[in-house]
Structure 1
Amino acid sequence: MTVSTPRPTIGWAGTGRMGYAMVSRLLHAGHDVTVYNRTRSKCEPLGELGATIVDSAAELADRDVVFTMVSASKDFAEVALGEQGILRQPAKPRILVDCSTVSRDVSAQVRREAEHVGTALLVAPVSGNAKVVKAGRLSMVASGPREVFDEAQPLLTTIAASVTYAGQDDLARLVKLAHNIFLGVVTQSMAEITVLAERGGVSRAAFLEFLNGSVLGSVFTRYKTPAFVNLDFTPTFTPELLRKDFDLGLAAARELGVPMPVAALTHHIVQQSLGRGHHDTDFAVLLSEAARSAGLTLEPEDADVSDGLSASS
């Protein structure tokens, strides 16, 4: 399978926080991108960067490569298979790249329809958030036909600094679910130990400075340090989205017969945070929940701490 032009025309459905940032990288690289978002106002600023804005997913179908970046399984099914769906139009893209985290059943349904109409589905979920995308630090894992991955790889590497091929079909989705379960477990552990240190009289800034300089420090612990220190829970990834990934990941674990007791407990804690009203906030709010359980009232430290990221083009 080959794309018809050296610089393929690109369609993009879904320009929330992540989709917007990812499209911006393609536009800055000079690609021809047509974008659709259910709430048009969220994608209109991309027009100033050179994007063509359309009012339905159907209007993306004649692009060479179409990306989707949506919130839930039902949204992916609607964008791909609904009445105005990309795969229901007379013209079809050669390649459909889904960067969402959706259920295996919906993905399989879309894959069957895509194969039926002659479109190749490449699954390509990502690790990071909008700021990570802007900094040029996004990671992506992809699965599907190897020749399709090879064809799409120049576009994928424009969006993400690290692109890994995981194999056929939906294997990339399992990789992403395993990753996000680990994300939740690490965040909960980071919250608990930070509360332990503060309860003993150590400032969060000092404790996390030590942690980040040790062998246990990581890009992620550095990135979450300002949120933990200054209690800035502006959403980058919400507890609700994290719970969705735990739901899907633990379902996969049950199907594959893999016990995950630590993940199951973290899932319960994430659900508890939602029960306490933490919906439209960052999942770093798990720190506040850990402090609450310890009877500790947190205050912003107003410290000048780095998130470890530097923007790049």
Structure 2
Amino acid sequence: MGQGMVRNLMKAGYRVNVYNRTKSKADALIEDGAVWMPTIQDISKNSDVIITIVGYPKDVEQVYLEDGIVAHAKQGSTLIDMTTSSPKLAERIYEEAKANGLSSLDAPVSGGDVGAQNGKLSIMVGGDKNVFETVRPIFEAMGQNIVYQGQAGSGQHTKLSNQIAIAGTMLGVCEAIAYAAKAGLDPDQVLKSIAAGAAGSFSLSNLAPRMLKGDFAPGFYVKHFIKDMRIALESAEELGLLTPGLALAKKRYEELAEQGGENFGTQALYKLYL
């Protein structure tokens, strides 16, 4: 997803510095004009707006708080974490940034690799509203549905709501396709009927066709979805909310991961029904 996001920022005219733990993954961007920075400290010192999208909350904590971005960013810089991460961690980064003369927004995204490539991501933002308004043009270069949700951590809470909805939907999509096949129907034809009706969803329209083609390449990794569901379950428990559907979806995805599917895309859940 980061590749598409960077390309859209460059198309919008921004000078973009880039850093990745594996430099080769950034080579294509560098060839197209992105400026390579050899360390997190270097990119922090040489950028006015620092955007991160990494894997897990532990990665977010490392790049921001362990002799990372907060310690090395220039006074007045804006930090934007677009990883799906912990609301509590987003609040902590906000406070640490504020104490160091920096602004911080948590702005996780939805839309997958296709949304990132096409600049059509949904972006959910938490933090100070005046900071959000200042950097809104940057968000507009990467997404279309950009909504300010409230104080620090609100973007993450919104993304967890999104992941809870997707978790249940993916179970339904897989089971609907499996049912159609068992009933002797042509699943592609079934999709033509149900995707345009009340059952319609992003997953049904965009991921179900991949399932039927046996295309399980990652737009969004199974291992990262399991991480998101774990965070959502923990947060829901803290809020005193029961989420049995989410718990079941996480269990099914863990079964897929145990069978070697952790690096597939989330649509690979269908493999459990084959």
TM-score, normalising length from structure 2? Answer: 0.95
1:163 maps to 2:185: no
Query: For residue 76 of structure 1, what is the aligned residue in structure 2?
Result: 60
CA RMSD of aligned residues (A): 1.4
How far, CA to CA, are the matches of 2:73 and 2:129 in structure 1?
26
- Deviation per CA, 1:45-72: give whole Å up to 9, x if none: 1122211111101112232111011111
Pick one of 127, 133, 140 that aligns with 1:144: 127
1:228 maps to 2:211: yes
Equivalent pairs, count: 273
Query: For residue 232 of structure 2, what is the aligned residue in structure 1?
Result: 249
TM-score, normalising length from structure 1? Answer: 0.84
Q: Percent identity over the alignment?
A: 29
1:56 maps to 2:33: no
Alpha-carbon shift at residue 271 of structure 1 (Å): 1.3
How far, CA to CA, are the matches of 1:27 and 1:43 in structure 2?
14
Alpha-carbon shift at residue 82 of structure 1 (Å): 2.3
How far, CA to CA, are the matches of 1:60 and 1:187 in structure 2?
38
Query: For residue 237 of structure 1, what is the aligned residue in structure 2?
Result: 220
Contact 1:61 1:92 in 2 (8 A): no
Alpha-carbon shift at residue 155 of structure 1 (Å): 0.6
Greater Cα radius of gyration, structure 1 or 2: 1
Q: What letter matches 2:198 in structure 1? A: V
In 2 relative to 1, CA 276–132 (structure 1 residues): closer, same or farther, beyond 3 Å? same
In the TM superposition, 1:93-132 aligns within 5 A as 94-132=77-115
Contact 2:4 2:119 in 1 (8 A): no
Alpha-carbon shift at residue 225 of structure 1 (Å): 2.9
Q: Which runs of 5+ in 2 are unaligned?
A: none
Q: What letter matches 1:108 in structure 2? A: E
- Deviation per CA, 1:160-183: give whole Å up to 9, x if none: 011001011101101101101211
How far, CA to CA, are the matches of 2:75 and 2:260 in structure 1?
43
Name which of structure 1's ranges 140-149 and 254-263 shifts more when overlaid on structure 2. Answer: 254-263
Q: Which runs of 5+ in 1 are unaligned?
A: 1-17, 292-313
- Deviation per CA, 1:119-170: give whole Å up to 9, x if none: 1111100001122222232111101001000001011011101100101110
How far, CA to CA, are the matches of 2:230 and 2:6 in structure 1?
28
How far, CA to CA, are the matches of 1:136 and 1:106 in structure 2?
27
Contact 2:124 2:155 in 1 (8 A): yes
Contact 2:170 2:203 in 1 (8 A): no
Q: Of Structure 1 and Structure 2, which has the larger fraction of its residues in helix?
A: 2
Query: For residue 18 of structure 2, what is the aligned residue in structure 1?
Result: 35
- Deviation per CA, 1:220-251: give whole Å up to 9, x if none: 32111321221110111122111111100011
